[in-house]
Amino acid sequence: MNVFEAFFLGLIQGITEFLPVSSSGHLEISKKIFGDIFTSQESFLLTLSLHFATTISTIIVFRKDIALIFKELFQFKKNDSFYFSICIIISMIPAAFVGIFFEDFINNLFKDNLMLVGSMLILTSFLLFLTDRKKINKIKISYLSALLIGLVQAIAILPGLSRSGATIAIAIIIGVNREKASRFSFLMVIPLIIGGMIKNLLSLPQNFNFEVDILFVGFMSALVTGVFACKLMIALVNKSKLKYFGIYCLIIGLITIFYVIK
């Protein structure tokens, strides 16, 4: 793999991690287009680096919210920020459970499984169309709704099913305010990604090496595009403009399926 390919994959990750079109699905499709450009270990480390980059993008965009959450948690003030923090913790439980007990099964889903990717992109499209049809959103996120959104996040581990699209969609469909839905969706995944990264880094073999310049280019590409994509997604959710991404996911999903069965 060369620097250009790393830059392109970082671009794809940065854009699709936040826009509701499935970053995992697009990375799998991109790898298929490029062919076998790296080994499984190289693919693993690059994917890890790209996800870390978009996590940093999320922290940059929501730095004030994150600082407030930590402040309220440490001071144990039972206000909206405190309860919001507890809801984030609750939402992590399903995905953490799936990640711990079904890791091998999940890894196998990402092995040349474009039929699943195409099918999940079509499901993402359906959810996005439903989201824009929902007009009244007044409720706050409760412990029960946080658990439900967390269950959807766990299911969205499937390649091709957009995590941000699915979690924001289910939150809006059950009546959560659009701004709170997008904010919750992006913040709830940060602890999971960081925890998963630490676990994966500890499992890397000691003699494993990778070209630093390739990782750096991919990381920076994902980081910069991720910041812009995150801000754009928040604006689009508030304006009920997700149906256009629904059309896109439907088209890409159908093309992917036709490619597999041709």
pLDDT band at 43 (very low <50, low <70, confident <90, very high): low
The model's pLDDT over 221-244, given as tens digits with 9 standing for 90+, comes to 999 999 999 998 888 887 878 888
Decide if pLDDT at 39 tops 70: no
**Residue boundaries of the structural domains of the chain:** 3-261
What is the C-alpha to C-alpha distance for residues 51 and 120, in angstroms, rounded to an integer? 20
Angle (CA) 229-230-235 rounded to 5° is 95
Decide if pLDDT at 123 tops 90: yes
Nearest to 216 by CA among 95, 53, 68: 53
Phi and psi dihedrals of 139, rounded to 5?
A: -80, 155
Is the model's pTM score more than 0.75?
yes
The model's pLDDT over 149-171, given as tens digits with 9 standing for 90+, comes to 999 999 988 888 888 889 999 99
Q: Which residues pair with 139 in a beta bridge?
A: 176
3-state secondary structure (DSSP) of residue 89: helix
DSSP for residue 206: T
